[in-house]
Amino acid sequence: MEKKTLFTVSIYTENNVGLLNRISAIFLKRHINIESFTTSECEIKNVFRFIILVEMTHSGIGKIIKQIEKQVDVIKAFYHTDEETIFQETALYKVKSSSLFEEREIQKSIKKSNARIITVNPDFFVIEKTGFRHETDKLYNDLAPYGLLQFTRSGRIAVTKSKMGISEILNTFKNQKKK
Amino acid sequence: MKNNKNISGAEAVIKSLIKENADLVFGYPGGAIMPVYDELFKFQDKVHHVLTRHEQGAVHAAQGYARSSGRVGVAIATSGPGATNLVTGIADAQIDSTPIVCITGQVSAHLLGSDAFQETDIIGISMPVTKWSYQITKASEVPVAIAKAFYIAKSGRPGPVLIDITKNAQFEMFDFNYKKCIGIRSYSPIPKIDKNKILDAAKLINAAKKPLIVSGQGVILANAEKEFKSFVEKSGIPAAWTILGASALPTSHELNVGMVGMHGNYGPNILTNQCDLLIAIGMRFDDRVTGDTNSYAKQAKIIHLEIDPAEIDKNIIVDVPVLGDCKESLSMLSKNIKTKSYKNWLKTFDDLMKKEFNKVIKNDLAPKKKGLTMGESIIAINKFTKGKAIIVSDVGQHQMVACRYANFIESRSNITSGGLGTMGFALPAAIGAKMGAPKREVVAVIGDGGFQMTIQELGTIFQLQLPVKIVILNNDFLGMVRQWQEMFFDKRYASTEMVNPDFVSIAKAYFLDSEKVENRSDLEPAVKRMVESKKPYVLEICVEKEANVFPMIPSGASVSDIRLE
């Protein structure tokens, strides 16, 4: 069996209803589980970028990318390994306020992990940590013994180290607009 | 155009169809599409609507129309069950690259998501099997969406598009202004041909000693029959075809070496694993063509002419991919190759054909047994249509026999459900095929199983008085499944034997001319009467119950393990 690797898939698309469904269906059809999924408008107005994390074989990912690009509303799709990207995830931790004052260890963990307290009120406080998965995991493990009221982690966001092959295409879009 | 100010969304739908020259549509009315039907009534001199007896019939008819005419087929249905009944045909069109536009009604926008009467999420349901789809909730979106729909359906690798229109958008008034779609920035339907790839391919072709061409429907979809024929003739390379590639090259052409795949000819299958160069043109290496991919043409270099980048290296890794429109790439290739002939190599095909003839074809076409065969029925059709008919086949044994023995002279003469294998396809598709090519004879060849899946379309044929000829090859079995049960399941005939009605009586109840043939001596006169008739005609031919289709590549076996018995 060919080895599986974690790939960051970047998909540039038009802003159309239902496209999310179309893209996820391509993975569904091949019984591939999506590890994380993020979407937002990219550097060009009205062009959206999906960032999808999947574990797949090298030969499989190439085929999937072509199937994605085949969709009418997809402008271009790419895949990259971890080494080729700068990537981060954000996690939020909600903890009882009393434990912040009673447990000195919590304050230490927050400091050590470079996390940020984004809100404090008499009942609870919320910590935000942006970083690699192992960093948000570590903070999770540190805080868990004191009781986490809520925990959530975003999907991966990533940019590539090298220039994205899409820049030229997107620039032509910009110029088209000007005309 | 005058009178485009302040018109309804429904009128805009019809005016958009007129702008796209869609003067024939197939469909079935219902609540959520009624405003559109009301406009169809007003514009009936410009857009002819054919009322089928089931929405599945409408979509298959649209497919048949598209396949025989090369134009975009249109099917219209209401929301809910009307829309879901289209899904099989849409999936069929997706996998067989057939350009169709389906228009469905939908509940009013304010009711979306409320489980309203006849509401289904048809956009969601059809998404995996459409090339593109769009839900219109405002009248002003009608012209843009329909223009895009036609452009997407027919450009590049064709496919089905679905447009869902909420009822409020059909009623809403707006000023209509139609612009044809000429491009979509995120969509490049035809890849540019890389000249270096042409040169690489030409080099391989010029050096080859035992090359083989396998062509698919891509040649027909690209209208590249002429370029294909010149390429074949200049290169001198034996040319085989997939089931959907049939008829692009005349059957009698001296370089036509027959069909590849599970029930294809013996020679091209065996020699796929002996050739030194395989030139795949507009085909997608379907598993029914390749058998076991791990032992498919491993000894050969492979060139792949293809319009869809996603097909390159999908099933078979190739040496030289030539992306682009094959009409163009074939003529570029022809300019760069030497004129050659492969006498000894062609003789290997002839020798294997002789073997196939002795073991299989002889018994199929001139049987010694009393029972009629499917093969001799097809030969009789060939004889009286002089090979000029469009053969629309359903799915199963008769389909394989029809494609093996039909004599094709013209392109677009073979219409069948290849990729999806949709039983019930042929009868409605034959309606569309005849209306798409009214001057041509259309013969539907259908099994007793498939015939009963869309039998209601006899009503459509009667109402239209459409002179399609329908041949039922009746073996009182779901023959292909029975054959597998005989070969691989120790003859346990689980639910494959059919107790059938009298098809002649059914046809007569629809006021159609009909007869039944049980003896060999009656076969040719009956086929002759059918072909000579100017009216629709149903001919039931009772064939041997337990005959098998050979050659056959057992599922999962290599193409070179093809069996003759």
Furthest-apart CA atoms within chain B: distance in Å:
72
The C-alpha of A175 sits at a distance from chain B's nearest C-alpha, in angstroms, of 13
Kindly tell me the burial class for residue B557, based on how many C-beta atoms sit within 10 Å of its own C-beta (0-12, 13-18, 19 or more).
middle
Residue B551 preceded by cis peptide, ω within 30:
yes
Catalytic residue among B435, B480, B530, B552: B480
Q: In this structure, is residue A166 part of a structural domain?
A: no
Residue B63 designated active-site: no
Q: In this structure, is residue A159 part of a structural domain?
A: no
Buried b (16+ CB within 10 A) or exposed e, B93-114: bbbbbbbbbbbbbbbbbebeee
Above 50 in pLDDT, residue B400? yes
- Partner A contacted by B313 (CB < 8 A): yes
Cα B201 to chain centroid, rounded: 29
- Partner B contacted by A21 (CB < 8 A): yes
Above 70 in pLDDT, residue A177? no
Residue B540 designated active-site: no
- Report the alpha-carbon distance of residue A54 to residue A38 in Å, rounded: 12
**Do B270 and B161 have their domain in common?**
no
Q: In this structure, is residue A92 part of a structural domain?
A: yes
CATH number of the domain to which A144 belongs: 3.30.70.1150
Comparison of pLDDT for A168 and B509, the residue scoring more: B509
User: For A7-21, B102-116, B447-461, which range has the lowest pLDDT when averaged over its residues?
Assistant: A7-21
**Ramachandran region, residue B237 (left: φ > 0; alpha: ψ -120 to 50; beta: rest):** beta
Q: In this structure, is residue B14 part of a structural domain?
A: yes
Structural domain that includes position A75:
4-80
**Per-residue pLDDT tens digits for B326-365:** 999 999 999 999 999 999 999 999 999 999 999 999 999 9
CATH number of the domain to which A21 belongs: 3.30.70.260
Q: In this structure, is residue B564 part of a structural domain?
A: no
Nearest CA to B214 out of B197, B232, B198 is that of B232
CATH number of the domain to which B131 belongs: 3.40.50.970
Q: How many other C-beta atoms are found inside a 10 Å radius of the C-beta of residue B490? A: 7
Give chain A's domain count.
2
**Do B331 and B269 have their domain in common?**
yes
Which three-class secondary structure string do you get for B91-110? Answer: HHHHHCCCCEEEEEEECCHH
Residue B55 designated active-site: yes
Q: In this structure, is residue A165 part of a structural domain?
A: no
Q: Do A67 and B310 touch (CB under 8 A)?
A: yes
Above 80 in pLDDT, residue A176? no
Residues 51-90 of A with CB under 8 A from B: 62-63, 66-67, 69-70, 72-75
Angle at B238 between CA B235 and CA B239, to 5 degrees: 100
Q: Which of A80, A107, A136 is the last residue of a domain?
A: A80
**Per-residue pLDDT tens digits for B125-139:** 999 999 999 999 999
The C-alpha of B132 sits at a distance from chain A's nearest C-alpha, in angstroms, of 7
**Do B475 and B327 have their domain in common?**
no
pTM, full prediction: 0.96
Mean pLDDT of B172-192: 96
Q: Are B480 and B493 in contact (CB under 8 A)?
A: no
Q: In this structure, is residue A173 part of a structural domain?
A: no
Q: Do B135 and A62 touch (CB under 8 A)?
A: no
Report residue B2's pLDDT band, with 50, 70 and 90 as the boundaries.
Answer: low
Q: Which of B124, B308, B310 sits opposite A21 (nearest CB)?
A: B124
**Do B436 and B538 have their domain in common?**
yes
Nearest CA to A8 out of A35, A44, A40, A47 is that of A35
Structural domain that includes position B132:
7-174
**Do B262 and B320 have their domain in common?**
yes
Which of A16, A44, A67, A72 has the most B C-beta neighbours within 10 Å, making it the best mutation to test the interface with B? Answer: A72
**Do A74 and A96 have their domain in common?**
no
**Do B387 and B342 have their domain in common?**
no
**Do A50 and A75 have their domain in common?**
yes
Q: Which of B108, B142, B174 is the last residue of a domain?
A: B174
**Do A57 and A8 have their domain in common?**
yes
Give chain B's domain count.
3
**Do B161 and B20 have their domain in common?**
yes
Residue B353 designated active-site: no
Q: How many other C-beta atoms are found inside a 10 Å radius of the C-beta of residue B509? A: 13
Mean pLDDT of chain B: 97
The C-alpha of B159 sits at a distance from chain A's nearest C-alpha, in angstroms, of 11
Q: Do A25 and B128 touch (CB under 8 A)?
A: yes
Q: Which of A18, A73, A176 sits opposite B123 (nearest CB)?
A: A18
| Beta carbon pairs, A and B, within 8 Å | 43
What is the percentage of chain B residues whose pLDDT exceeds 70? 100
Nearest CA to B413 out of B395, B430, B392 is that of B392
**Do B118 and B251 have their domain in common?**
no
**Do B170 and B244 have their domain in common?**
no
Catalytic residue among B41, B117, B171, B488: B117
